[in-house]
Amino acid sequence: MAEVLLTADAARSLVDSVDAFLFDCDGVIWKGDELIEGVPETLELLRKMGKKLVFVTNNSRKSRKQYSKKFKSLGLDVTEEEIFTSSFAAAMFLKLNNFPPEKKVYVVGEDGILEELKLAGFECFGGPEDGKKNIMLEANFYFDHDKSVGAVIVGLDQYFNYYKMQYASLCIRENPGCLFIATNRDPTGHMISSQEWPGAGTMVAAVSCSVQKEPIVVGKPSSFLMDFLLKSYNLETSRMCMVGDRLDTDILFGQNTGCKTLLVMSGVTTLPELQSASNTIHPDLYTNTVHDLVQLLEP
């Protein structure tokens, strides 16, 4: 299948055919804490054209409130209501599925998940604090865990360790009905601007291997995030465009939910990967960066 490069005609046709643009963040809006060139101008132009903008990220390290602060620190005016994170999706999954209030949630992840769970009214523990804990593998050592844990959520965790892996594994294996939820399965991510780092998928894979069970995934490419988005915006998915840098999450998410798709080369995916004979995920359009929209739409 021949890939379609974004041209001036294609850009005009795209913006005329959609009412909302859904943007991934890492590799599209920023890399680490550095804004990608041309992003402010692009967002400003699309807002002036009356387009709704939504930011959909698999990165669970921050809550929506924390992401709103990050946007502001980078000079971007984005409201909390325009941000949909996998940490928020995990909390909402529990809420929608009537997670018992007497049950606790164990978190392999960072503050974003903990904050969203607390805002949703759930009792949770783990997170960065458990990154400080060690295990002594000695004779007669017994590792105890909380039997009231009813769900384990695994996301990106720079403090991931053997203690957390064992705690999560025991809860999933031994607590009856304990849910195993993954924020996403991204293998890598741009945690800093200069290079990729292991993503949440590596932590999820470790726990999954230990318990020999597949998780419920709430982030992209799962359609769960879209279900929430549609409740917030009175739009049809056919009138949305998903803009992302990953084929296996962003573009697949868009395709799974009926959106138009635009791949940008400012993050993970390279042109050779896109054009590889082994690639089975093809966006509607591709371009270098989101700023190309501005340049192509200029009269």
Residues 33-50 have pLDDT tens digits of 899 999 999 999 999 999
Kindly tell me if the per-residue pLDDT of 193 is higher than 80.
Answer: no
pLDDT for 291: 97
Range 57-89 burial, b when 16+ CB lie within 10 A, else e: bbbbbbbbebbbebbeebebebeeebbbbbbbb
3-state secondary structure of 107: strand
pLDDT for 299: 72
pLDDT for 62: 94
Kindly tell me if the per-residue pLDDT of 30 is higher than 70.
Answer: yes
For residues 237 and 257, the answer to whether their CB atoms sit within 8 Å is yes
Considering 16, 19, 24, 77, which one is annotated as catalytic? 19
Residue % of the chain over a pLDDT of 90: 87
Q: Could you give the residue ranges of the DSSP H alpha helices within the chain?
A: 8-17, 39-48, 64-73, 86-96, 111-119, 162-174, 200-211, 224-232, 252-257, 271-275, 291-297
CA 214, 192, 255, 113 torsion-angle sign: positive
DSSP 210-229: HHT-PPEE-STTSTHHHHHH
Kindly tell me if the per-residue pLDDT of 3 is higher than 90.
Answer: no
Q: Could you give the residue ranges of the DSSP H alpha helices within 84-146?
A: 86-96, 111-119
Kindly tell me if the per-residue pLDDT of 190 is higher than 80.
Answer: no
Residue % of the chain over a pLDDT of 70: 100
- In sequence order, the β-bridge partners of residue 54 are 22
Output 233 or 159, whichever has higher pLDDT: 159
> Is residue 234 packed enough to be buried (19+ CB in 10 Å), middle (13-18) or exposed (0-12)?
exposed
List pLDDT tens digits, range 127-183.
999 999 988 888 888 999 999 999 999 999 999 999 999 999 999 999 999 999 999
List pLDDT tens digits, range 51-69.
999 999 999 999 999 999 9
**What is the band of 14 on the pLDDT scale with cuts at 50, 70, 90?**
very high
> Is residue 203 packed enough to be buried (19+ CB in 10 Å), middle (13-18) or exposed (0-12)?
buried
DSSP for residue 249: I
**What is the band of 1 on the pLDDT scale with cuts at 50, 70, 90?**
low
Asked about 19 being catalytic, the answer comes back as yes
Closest CA to 26 of 199, 154, 160, 155: 199
pLDDT for 229: 83
Q: How many CB atoms lie within 10 A of CB 6?
A: 20
Residues with Cβ within 8 Å of residue 47, at least 6 apart in sequence: 53
Side chain identity, residue 205: A
pLDDT for 248: 93
**What is the band of 298 on the pLDDT scale with cuts at 50, 70, 90?**
confident
Give the strands of the sheet with 52-57, arranged side by side: 83-85, 52-57, 20-23, 240-244, 260-264, 285-287
pLDDT for 90: 97
pLDDT for 112: 97
pLDDT for 192: 77
